[in-house]
Structure 1
Amino acid sequence: MTAFTRVKELAKIRKLSLREVNDKAGLGKNSIYKWKTSAPSIENASKVAKVLNTSADYLMGKTDNPAPVSDKISDTDLDKALNEARSFDGVPMNEHDRAILKGMIKAYFDQKGND
């Protein structure tokens, strides 16, 4: 399976057009379409992988697992978890509380990644 095919499949799952993926990754016009016949550079594959929440290794066919390799928690996952948390220890949480918790959690994982 080519990098183009993998990008196309993941983009469809994430409800993004190839043009949107291309633009969000900051690539030149129609760069992804060129992947039909030639492999992308690691740099460009990494940019697209970030947009699609996967790994460059998956896009380049080095693994069949589209899950990202990173242990980092995504902002989307963190926002979802915090939005579902309405209270802590019986005390209601407001948006300010959630923003503070988000900052603390991100700082923890950033520090953990540096250890």
Structure 2
Amino acid sequence: MGLVERIKNLCNERKITFAEVERKVGISNGQIRRWDTSSPKIENVEKVANYFDVSTDYLLGRTDKRRYYDLTEKDELSIQRELKKAIKGEDVDNAFAAFDGRILDELNEEDRELLIASWENTLRLTKRMAKQKFTPNKYRD
């Protein structure tokens, strides 16, 4: 997928046009469409990437991760492992360390599912925040 196609998809997600993006970021009218046949200035690509809160690497098709702190497949597997440990009540090095796994047995099915979903979201959020905070600048997009 090329640069213009990625921008088009991002525009469709926000229900806006190329012209609106060009006005908001301060590039000339029709500029984005011309990127199909000519090379854009890196400053303009950066402006568009910043507008959509994605990395320039994502726009250029070098990666499918929109931001450097997005979770990878490896991160997702790690989250699932930690969640399984928490559900079993095993001693883990996170916020669930003091949790007694027997409490899940006392909950009705709906409450149990809600609690597990909440834990999973908490793990995702904390992992993403840690990536934002602790990723060295040289590895950020």
Mapping for residues 72-83 of structure 1, pairs under 5 Å: none
Aligned equivalent of 2:43: 43
Aligned equivalent of 2:75: none
The 2-side partners of 1:29 and 1:70 are apart by 32
Mapping for residues 29-108 of structure 1, pairs under 5 Å: 29-65=29-65, 67-69=66-68
- Structure 1 residue 52, shift from structure 2 partner: 1.3
Aligned equivalent of 2:3: 3
* TM-score, normalised with respect to structure 2: 0.46
1:48-90: per-residue Cα shift (whole Å, max 9, x none)? 011112111111122122x22379xxxxxxxxxxxxxxxxxxx
Runs of 4+ that moved beyond 3 A: none
Q: For 1:15, give the aligned amino acid.
A: K
- Structure 1 residue 9, shift from structure 2 partner: 0.4
Aligned alpha-carbon RMSD (Å): 2.3
The 1-side partners of 2:69 and 2:30 are apart by 28
* TM-score, normalised with respect to structure 1: 0.55
Indicate conservation of the 8 Å contact 1:22/1:28, yes or no.
Answer: yes
1:13-65: per-residue Cα shift (whole Å, max 9, x none)? 01111111111111011110101222322211110011112111111122122
Percent identity between the aligned chains?
41
Structure 1 unmatched ranges of 5 or more? 72-108
Structure 2 unmatched ranges of 5 or more? 71-131
Task: Say how many residue pairs are matched.
Answer: 73
